[in-house]
Homo-oligomer: A and B are copies of this chain.
Amino acid sequence: MSGLDLDTLAPSVAWTGDRIEIIDQTRLPDEFEIIELVSVDAVVDAICRLAVRGAPAIGACGALGIVIGLDERHPEDLPAARSALDELVEVIGSARPTAVNLRWAVERVRDAALEGDTADRLRRMALDEALRIIAEDKDACSRIGEAGRAELTGMTNIMTHCNTGRLATAGWGTALGVIYAKAAAGEPVRVLASETRPLLQGARLTIWELEDAGIDVTLMPDSADAAAMSVGKVDAVIVGADRIAANGDTANKIGTFSHAVNARYAGIPFYVAASLSTFDTAIASGDEITIELRSDDELTAWRGIPTAPAGASVWNPAFDITPAGLITAIFTEVGVLHPPFDVSIPAAVEHAER
C-alpha cells in the first residue's frame, strides 16, 4: 500500500530564497492563507500575533528572520553587519519573551554568523545556520514519528490532544509526527482529536492539518475521552510535551493528565512524543514545575461572544503535569524511552550530549 507523500504538504515555515512563507494560523480554520514575510517588522508581528506558533516553528521563523533583517539593513562592511546582527537578535529574540526556543534559535544563528569574515559571508553563514535549525527539527520530528510508528504497529485508532503537528514545528510534529509516519508508511490510521479548551487548538488546527493531509480525523469534546475509550474508539493515546522532568513527569496542555488517567482506567497505552530539547533533567520531578495560569477571558468569551458571565471567577491553568507512572513510553529522536524513566531519560539525554 502506497503512503502519503509528506513533501506535498505545506510546512508552517518555509524559506523561498529571499523571503519567509508561513501559514497564517490566526486565519485557520476559516481560511488557509500563506503569507510572505519580507521585513523584520513583519516577522516580529507574525510571531507576536501568533500567526506562527509552536515553539520549534517560532524558532525557525525567528532564525530566518535574522537573514531577512540582514537583507533589509544591507550592511556595507563587517562591523556594520555584526552590529546589525546584535540588534536583530534583540528585536526578534524578544518578540515573545517566554518562548525559550526563539531566543535559543536567534542566538545560535548569531553565533554561527559571527564566524563570517565579510558582511556577505556573515549573511551566508546566518542563512546556513537557520536552515540547519529547520533541518534538524525536521529530522528530529521524522525520527520521533518513526520511533512511534514502529511501536504502534497494529494500532489504528489514535487519540490525541492539542496541536503537535506541522503547524507547531518545522517538520511533521511530535505526536502528530507519529500519525504522519503511519500515513506515509501506508498503514491504516484514524485519529480522534479532542477540542482542547479553551483555545481549541485541537478543533481549529489538528483537524485542519490532518484533513488537509487526507488523514481520517474526528473531533470530540475533551470530556468525551472516557466514553470514547469505553466503546472501543481508542487503541492508544499520543500527546506532545512542554517539559519533561528527569523522572518522566510531563507538563503538557491542560487536559493531558485527565486523558492519561482515563487511559489507565481503560487499560489503553498512553504515549508522549517529544524531542530531547523538551527534557529538563535539572528538575527531578513535576513537583518543581509551576503551573502557569492564563487569562480569564479565554473561558468567558469566544472571539468576543460571551460563554460565561463577564467577571466570573476562573481557574485557567495552561497545562497540567501527568505523573510518569501513567506514561507507557516516550517517543524521542533517539528512540523509545521505557520505564523506569528516571534511568532511561538521564541516559538518553547524556548520550545525546556526548
Chain B residue nearest to A302 in the complex (CB): B302
Please tell me if A317 contacts chain B, counting CB pairs below 8 Å: yes
A219-230 contact mask (Cβ, 8 Å, vs B): 1 or 0: 111111111101
SS of A interface (majority)? mixed
| A295 is an interface residue with CB less than 8 A from chain B | no
Contact check, A197 vs B226: say whether CB atoms are below 8 A apart.
no
**Is A218's CB under 8 angstroms from B261's CB?**
no
| Bound CA span A217–B204, Å | 29
- The residue on B at minimum CB distance from A209 is B309
B220 contacts A257, C-beta separation under 8 Å: no
Residue of B nearest to A299 (CB): B219
Q: How many Å from the CB of A62 to the closest CB on chain B? A: 28
**A291 proximal to B (CB < 8 A):** yes
| A340 smallest CB distance to B (angstroms) | 21
Residues on A facing B (Cβ under 8 Å)? 29-30, 192, 194-198, 200, 203-204, 207-208, 211, 216-228, 230-231, 233, 254-255, 257-262, 264-265, 291, 299-300, 302-303, 305-310, 312-317, 320-321
Cα–Cα distance between A265 and B231 once the two chains are bound (Å): 20
B315 contacts A307, C-beta separation under 8 Å:
no
What's the Cα separation between A264 and B265 when bound, in Å?
A: 9
Chain A to chain B: the 6 pairs with minimum beta-carbon distance, closest first: A223-B255, A227-B320, A203-B308, A226-B257, A226-B258, A29-B309
Given contacts A197-B223, A211-B312, 9 further A-B contacts (CB under 8 A): A197-B197, A207-B309, A217-B313, A219-B315, A222-B255, A258-B258, A258-B262, A262-B262, A302-B302
- Please state if B312 and A227 are interface contacts (CB–CB under 8 Å): no
